[in-house]
Structure 1
Amino acid sequence: MFCFTTFKRYPQGVLHKLISYVKAVLPIKVSVSVLKKYKDVEGAVKIEEVNGEELVKKFAEEMEEMLGRKMKSVKSLAEAAEDADLYHEYNETLEFDYYNSMLINTVDEDGNPVPLGGEFQLEENEHFSKLAVNTQQSNIQVPTNVYNRDPDIVNGVYMSEALNDIFIDNFQKDPTLTWQYFGSSTGFFRLYPGIQWIPDENGVVTFDCRNRNWYIQAATSPKDVIIVVDVSGSMKGLRLTIAKHTINTILDTLGENDFVNIIAYSDYVRYVEPCFKGTLVQADLDNREAAALGQGSLCNQAIMLITDGAMEDFQDVFEKFNWPERRVRVFTYLIGREMTFAENVKWIACNNKGYYTHISTLADVQENVMEYLHVLSRPMVINHDHDIIWTEAYMDSVLSHGILLGVVGTDVALKELMRLAPRYKLGVHGYAYLITNNGYILSHPDLRPLYKEGKKLKPKPNYNSVDLSEVEWEDTEEKLRTAMVKGETGTLFLDVRTSVDKGTRVMFLRNDYFYTVINETPFSLGIVLSRGYGQYIFIGNVSVEEGLHDLLAPDLTIASEWTYCETDIDPAHRKLNQLQAVVRYLTGKEPDLECDVQLLQQTLFDAVVTAPMEAYWTALMLNTSGMDDGVETAFLGTRSGLMRFQRYTGIEKRIAKSFLTSTDKENMFTLDHFPVWYRRAAEYPAGQFLYYMPRQETRGRGHTFTWQTHTHTHTHSNTHSPSQNTICAGRFYGEVDGSVMTTLIRMASAHKKKGDILQPCDTEYPSFVYEPSVKETNSIIKCGRCQKMFVVQQIPDSNLLMLVVQADCDCSRQYSRITMEPKECDRMRSQKIRRRPESCHSFHPQENADDCGGASFISLSTSLFFTCLTFAALVS
């Protein structure tokens, strides 16, 4: 339990006011009253040591069970789609009016519903992020470049109507399900629940399910791809532009289990990226754009030849290196309108189990590139295998059927999965994380997948290919990463430096890591428990009546993102916040709610023990003679996510108006972390005061700013206005005065630590930590014709330093500022261990090699049917 206060700074007598304010709001007698209350219920307290190995196994089993339920729902969709297709007779002249998601609820100039529109009921739904949806029916999205009355579309939509009942039945059996869908190979996308599809600003719907990564990766096994592009003299202008677009489109079809390299040839052969010479590169987004070494997939192998013609067929070369097994498929792309040497280009593909396409314009690229996926899917279809295939952010189950109907699936939000590893069981610094078989992070509190562009948050291009070693940077030998990638179960400890407060402050911890594999998936789960607060958990037990009385206090809140009670199962509960759900459960008004009994017991205990704070704070507020108008808020937090707070000024007077609000994620209990002030206070000795200035309050505040905790305070000896004191508040002092900071480091008053801190490459990032044994020091800095004197004094029982600097000597020419800005660098190029997917279908003797493009076409009867379970990687 930690108590805090916030207040404004004044230009005169700052230290005396700081101490007097805090002592006024948090006097010793309050601590005594809280301890006395604890003594009254101490007999009901039980302290247990946390068993990390058992905890991580329990979490993994619950996650496996949850994913199993989702898979069961998806398989029921697959079976229904197979049956519907089996009994559907294709009708070239079939007419069927369906709900087009872009046209629903739209009328023409006469007020009549447009074709494929009509009235489609939509209601806002809490479960679907407050979007307007129809949970009684799905509807259809068709890309702008696909004719929505095409016979293939109409027959597919009519056939897939049978999925509506399965969608609804699945949602009734498992109310935690989110989006369910069917993506057809003909281009339409059936989505449940139905929604209004919004086109872009040009009125165009560019979304095509067939181009989505989960769809593409489900169609094939892992593959090694060499792209060979002709850059001779004839490949200029439009041809070269088309060739580049073709390369980019091929790269977009590759995932993290695929490997690629690009070779250009004319009179000589060269690697497009010299760092890739003689190797294959893992085809995640970063490696498709930069340099990093990888390993082959050891499954499908293909050469993509992009040229405007071939003078010969190179039969002797293929006979020597690829025949008779033809294990390496060759796909050829003829660029340009001329067909002079087309026969040789086609012969190369048809005699190496590949496919030939002719690309004459930029508009032809997408459709023609995608043809190779149908060819690579042939072995899987013929084998009639029921594999589970995973892409970097998705899980796809592939069921052989013989006809490429498409992909059916449902989304699983990672946020919901990580709720199965609740924060209160992991301690103040503890957390859980998930990685893939390639070592890439699915979920981690230090994974920051979004960046801000203007006022909008957008996903970073490589958000789903961030390696564990780029976040757990103390794992220098990669023992943790290697063990988890191999699917092992075990434990290890690391001495770590972790940053808080948006990377501006560092803490030193000793963490125990526990990890295991999630069965039937390529994922591994890890949890972290810090020595100290993370090693033990106490369980308090008070009566429900007493706990409820104190829980209903107006100054009390609980963590809104934590799951005290499951409100997402019953639609009637979805509008309840967590505190409302807890109260209704404990009072017996909602006995069917599923609640975390252990967390509720701890919350009730904390409410009872901290109840004396409410009475004291109220009395203090009423006794205005003992208060100064500088105090804004007093607040308290506990491990159960409970918070008490008392506002001492109105919102119109408060400086920190966003502090402790829903937008202030850093200082609130969230799904990912405890508040910054809570984490920092946990590492300080009991009884000391910790002062902290929230990051968002440090710029542009004029003459006043908000205090909570602060690592450096400073004032100038000849300051004439308050604004000179506050203009640098919250900044790293090395940026303000490089001469003093440099001197302090040389005097060993502050230690400079180096390490790879949250950097995706081999680099060093300095952190500065004050040496607590130095109580007071001073020095004189010589700067040309003048000298600067400064004094540093440690403020007792706090984390503050008083720094007084003589301000009439400018040393900026002799001492540059010490900046903390990140530097661009190359990503680490060391080869990393990965676990290959178990399934591989690269060859089957019954393949029809004559179906290789040109006059022929890929028959749907040689393709397959997929089911898919996707992971929604971005959550707000």
Structure 2
Amino acid sequence: YWNQHSWHRRSYHKYKDIEPTVKMEEVDGEELVKKFAEEMEGMLGRKMKSVKRLAEAAEDADLYHEFNATLEFDYYNSMLINSVDKDGNAIELGGEFPLEENEHFNKLQVNTLQSDIQVPTNVYNKDPGILNGVYMSEALNDVFVDNFQKDPTLTWQYFGSAAGFFRLYPGIAWTPDENGVVTFDCRNRNWYIQAATSPKDIIIVVDVSGSMKGLRLTIAKHTINTILDTLGENDFVNVIAYSDYVQYVEPCFKGTLVQADLDNREHFKLLVEELQVKGEGKVKKAMKESFKILNEAASLGQGSLCNQAIMLITDGAMEDYEEVFQEFNWPERRVRVFTYLIGREVTFADTVKWIACNNKGYYTHVSTLADVQENVMEYLHVLSRPMVINHDHDIIWTEAYMDSALFNTQAQSLLLMTSVAMPVFSKKKETLSHGILLGVVGTDVPLRELMRLAPRYKLGVHGYAFLNTNNGYILAHPALRPLYKEGKKLKPKPNYNSVDLAEVEWEDTDETLRTAMVKGETGTLSLDVRATVEKGRRVMFLKNDYFYTTINETPFSLGMVLTRGHGEYIFIGNVSVKEGKSSVLPEQQTLTYCETDIDPHHRKLTQLQAVFRYLTGKEPDLECDEKLLRQTLFDAVVTAPMEAYWTALMLNPSGMDEGVETAFLGTRSGLMRVSRYVGIEKRVAKKFLSPSDKENIFTMDHFPVWYRRAAEYPAGKFLYYIPKEDTRGRDYFLSAPPHTVGVCIQGVCIQGVCIQVYVSRVYVSMVYVSKVYVSRVYVSRVYVSRVYVSRVYVSRVYVSSVYVQVTQQSERLYLRIVQCRPVALVTFLHVSLLSIAAHCTIISLNSRK
């Protein structure tokens, strides 16, 4: 009793001393979102400068390089490095290539001093074109290293050659697939395709006459699918089949162009597989229909408003088609026509070639399935010619993607990112008029790093920031869940990077927010929102204010949400560094306060070491969030008396409730305090964090669920929280981390503090439960002194989201629920619990099976 009384008295005086240093500041949402956008613009601008330096260096290197058909040059092939033959000698294109683990690059083994080369299996790695390109691009090594020194936040930098090789910095050892081959081809990647060409309108016209039966139709279908794979969100497309008549593969898209997003492309692929051959091929009707669609789109200002092309896939053309081009395309030849002759026969090769050459297109002969990929890619080089001739070095940004194909290693986790890329053209005078594309340079930007610039602690417990593309698709959003579980593996969802903003912010029924952000406008919007937590199992009713603006020089818009009652003001306290330092323990920090990854000299520092070195002036070059640091130090001082209280309980058995296992608290700054009262051998829950609890810690992009839900309760009140566990067997375990908006200590309320206590032993006289689902529990009496439960009634049995586990080994049943101070009836979807009188604890109801 004395220890507890003394602690309350000391706490009261501590808060009185600190109170004058506390102040509240109103958050200006419009200014804050603009500030975030400016910081993001600066970060993305540095990436663009790095890419520009790479493009300039590559073009200069090519300018002074003379092609040598007999060139012999050994380079580091990422498939062969550090490999030896049976005699222990380095194999050709291998050699010693030092690698060491690097934290900045996902703990992969890399070489930060130079790049290496990846060549697809279907490309000869000593082809003269490959050797000359690799030799020429050696000049990029110094630029890679210099870029990384100027901007240590850079990740992968690369050059994808039009010849097919891929130069990557830092260098890595490339791992083949289970068949020993590398199918990765940089020319098929979205960043390459978007940088190599401008937005385009494409009509794919395929011959399905009787002569196309068998392998020819299979090759034609594969060609269509490959063309579709080269399209992106900024492109528009339609697919027409012809025989005796014109047939739209999707009748709903008749006479129009549709955006070539992932959903539409996959839809076309499914329909193309159903095509059947019959009749006679009459290409004239199909070509007329295609020109009408493209001309109408151009006149109405629809489509991409840029390149237009028709892709003709056929085994021959026998009709008189010249009048079609005279009527619709000559003399301007505004629409390019690319032709693909299918099959081994070349009887109609001259005719099909004439169509392409007289309409500023390109002719290719596709005789086998293996020819498809290489031949389809040729059209991209043709469409890039105007950009080369006009010296248009447009920088492109891709949609969000997960590049799991790039690094096939256990150390590589799927990482959502965007890429910035830029085309590289030949500047030689003798070839300038031909418009030769040398390749594409680029770098990846992890979206997690970008979103660090809009930290959650500045936005309140329910606030968040999100990024949108100019097509309305989400780039980053806390509700975006790009993965699904298949067995024990996590895999990306098929449409994870084409989720529309309207599908997440679904309260925006008239799409006012989406439309404004797509247009790149700046403004505000207020909405009543039903926010879901716990993977959609629970709902909170909030009033959200949305603030949005564009990020200059990019196709992205930034949105920000502040919830009324939580994001309108920010709480600021000020304590001395010395006092705050003495109150912080290593395990209490859960957020990133200092960027230790930027400078190699700082990478071995823990967050605690970095914080103290920065605050004491020993490392002034460290980039730290000083506001967050000050808030954390203040929280540390305010909550420090809890350590003395918990210690006093442990030292005084008479003041300690039997069975208390663990207590912890958390604050808005990410500070957490934890006290364990018993050893692991005595705990009911052997692990401190159960599967569902692992998400209930503070991270840079979200507050824990228990913290968010508790924030909606009045100060001083508590609620029961019984989440469904992530279990793998038939038995389930009922777990309940507590939630509260505040803990009342001698009349002083500390906002955002939660105390949780695990209780390992409870005496139960009557428990009516077996291996069933529990929907209602009524507890009549609880004695805190001995945590004694006299009666437990299970009045109703339903199938719901709350489960009970019977542990077979010990034949004991563990039912864990949170026990807090008295409150009114609390409802959680399927579960209703009457409150239990006590401190905020978790009790375990142990019973013989």
Q: TM-score normalised by the shorter chain: which range applies?
A: 0.7 to 0.9
* Match status 1:724 vs 2:724: no
Q: 1:720: how far off? A: 7.5
When residues 792 and 411 of structure 1 are mapped into structure 2, their CA distance, relative to the original with a 3 A threshold, is: closer
**1:147 maps to what in 2?**
124
When residues 707 and 102 of structure 1 are mapped into structure 2, their CA distance, relative to the original with a 3 A threshold, is: same
Structure 2 distance, partners of 1:391, 1:166, is 23
- Partner of 2:445, secondary structure, is strand
Structure 1 distance, partners of 2:646, 2:833, is 32
**1:127 maps to what in 2?**
104
**2:491 maps to what in 1?**
458
- Partner of 1:287, secondary structure, is helix
* Match status 1:369 vs 2:383: no
Which one scores higher on RCO, CA 8 angstroms, separation ≥ 6?
Answer: 1
**1:467 maps to what in 2?**
500
**1:501 maps to what in 2?**
534
Q: 1:446: how far off? A: 0.6
Q: Residue 664 of structure 2 is aligned with which of 635, 647, 651?
A: 635
When residues 441 and 432 of structure 1 are mapped into structure 2, their CA distance, relative to the original with a 3 A threshold, is: same
Q: 1:500: how far off? A: 0.8
- Residues 499-558 of structure 1: CA distance to partner in whole angstroms, max 9, x if unpaired? 111221111111111111111111111111111111100111001111111013x6x512
**1:617 maps to what in 2?**
646
- Residues 729-757 of structure 1: CA distance to partner in whole angstroms, max 9, x if unpaired? 99xx9x9738999xxxxxxxxxxxxxxxx
Contact 2:720 2:739 in 1 (8 A): yes
Q: Residue 261 of structure 1 is aligned with which of 229, 238, 255?
A: 238
Deviation larger for 86-95 or 579-588: 579-588
**1:594 maps to what in 2?**
623
When residues 702 and 204 of structure 1 are mapped into structure 2, their CA distance, relative to the original with a 3 A threshold, is: closer
Letter in 2 for 1:550: S
- Residues 459-492 of structure 1: CA distance to partner in whole angstroms, max 9, x if unpaired? 2222221111111111111111111111111111
**1:676 maps to what in 2?**
705
Contact 1:257 1:391 in 2 (8 A): no
Structure 2 distance, partners of 1:86, 1:31, is 78
Contact 2:461 2:566 in 1 (8 A): yes
Q: Residue 43 of structure 1 is aligned with which of 12, 16, 20?
A: 20
Q: 1:577: how far off? A: 2.9
**2:460 maps to what in 1?**
427
Q: 1:259: how far off? A: 0.8
* Match status 1:332 vs 2:339: yes
* Match status 1:236 vs 2:213: yes
- Residues 800-824 of structure 1: CA distance to partner in whole angstroms, max 9, x if unpaired? 9xxxxxxxxxxxxxxxxxxxxxxxx
**1:515 maps to what in 2?**
548
Q: 1:661: how far off? A: 8.2
* Match status 1:404 vs 2:417: no
Contact 1:697 1:706 in 2 (8 A): no
Structure 2 distance, partners of 1:479, 1:501, is 28
* Match status 1:490 vs 2:523: yes
Deviation larger for 623-632 or 564-573: 623-632
Q: 1:35: how far off? A: 5.9
* Match status 1:162 vs 2:139: yes
Contact 1:106 1:117 in 2 (8 A): yes
Give the alignment of 1:402-801 within 5 angstroms.
402=432, 403-552=436-585, 556-560=587-591, 562=592, 564-627=593-656, 630-657=659-686, 660=689, 665-696=694-725, 705-709=734-738, 722-724=769-771, 737=798, 794-795=834-835
**1:222 maps to what in 2?**
199
**2:303 maps to what in 1?**
296
Give the alignment of 1:803-842 within 5 angstroms.
none
- Residues 286-327 of structure 1: CA distance to partner in whole angstroms, max 9, x if unpaired? 1212389x9611211111111222122411122112222122
When residues 740 and 345 of structure 1 are mapped into structure 2, their CA distance, relative to the original with a 3 A threshold, is: closer
- Partner of 1:290, secondary structure, is helix
- Partner of 2:560, secondary structure, is strand
When residues 96 and 343 of structure 1 are mapped into structure 2, their CA distance, relative to the original with a 3 A threshold, is: closer
Contact 2:775 2:831 in 1 (8 A): no
- Residues 205-241 of structure 1: CA distance to partner in whole angstroms, max 9, x if unpaired? 1111111111011111111111111222222221111
Structure 1 distance, partners of 2:703, 2:798, is 33
When residues 702 and 661 of structure 1 are mapped into structure 2, their CA distance, relative to the original with a 3 A threshold, is: closer
Can you give the 5+ residue segments of structure 1 that lack an aligned partner in the other structure?
1-23, 712-717, 742-772, 778-789, 801-876
- Residues 31-53 of structure 1: CA distance to partner in whole angstroms, max 9, x if unpaired? 88656533320111121000111
Contact 1:102 1:196 in 2 (8 A): yes
* Match status 1:112 vs 2:51: no
Contact 2:113 2:170 in 1 (8 A): yes
Q: 1:695: how far off? A: 3.4
Can you give the 5+ residue segments of structure 2 that lack an aligned partner in the other structure?
272-296, 401-418, 741-764, 778-793, 803-822, 841-849
Contact 1:690 1:708 in 2 (8 A): no
Structure 2 distance, partners of 1:522, 1:302, is 25
When residues 246 and 31 of structure 1 are mapped into structure 2, their CA distance, relative to the original with a 3 A threshold, is: farther
When residues 30 and 449 of structure 1 are mapped into structure 2, their CA distance, relative to the original with a 3 A threshold, is: farther
Contact 2:774 2:799 in 1 (8 A): no
When residues 791 and 254 of structure 1 are mapped into structure 2, their CA distance, relative to the original with a 3 A threshold, is: closer
Structure 1 distance, partners of 2:323, 2:6, is 93
Q: 1:261: how far off? A: 1.1
Q: 1:622: how far off? A: 3.5
Q: Residue 79 of structure 2 is aligned with which of 102, 106, 118?
A: 102
Contact 1:303 1:329 in 2 (8 A): yes
When residues 581 and 661 of structure 1 are mapped into structure 2, their CA distance, relative to the original with a 3 A threshold, is: farther
Contact 1:229 1:306 in 2 (8 A): yes
Q: Residue 392 of structure 2 is aligned with which of 371, 385, 392?
A: 385
Structure 2 distance, partners of 1:63, 1:656, is 43
Q: 1:454: how far off? A: 2.2
- Residues 54-103 of structure 1: CA distance to partner in whole angstroms, max 9, x if unpaired? 11111111111111111112211122112211111221111111111111
Structure 2 distance, partners of 1:665, 1:305, is 55
Structure 1 distance, partners of 2:33, 2:504, is 20
**1:761 maps to what in 2?**
none
Q: What value does the CA root-mean-square deviation take over the aligned residues? A: 3.3
Structure 1 distance, partners of 2:690, 2:767, is 36
* Match status 1:195 vs 2:172: yes
Contact 2:824 2:835 in 1 (8 A): no
Q: 1:338: how far off? A: 2.0
**1:864 maps to what in 2?**
none
**1:809 maps to what in 2?**
none
Structure 1 distance, partners of 2:735, 2:832, is 23
Contact 1:80 1:166 in 2 (8 A): yes
When residues 736 and 275 of structure 1 are mapped into structure 2, their CA distance, relative to the original with a 3 A threshold, is: farther
**1:87 maps to what in 2?**
64
Contact 1:656 1:697 in 2 (8 A): no
- Partner of 1:416, secondary structure, is helix
Structure 1 distance, partners of 2:258, 2:774, is 49
Deviation larger for 680-689 or 642-651: 642-651
TM-score, with structure 2 as normaliser: 0.79
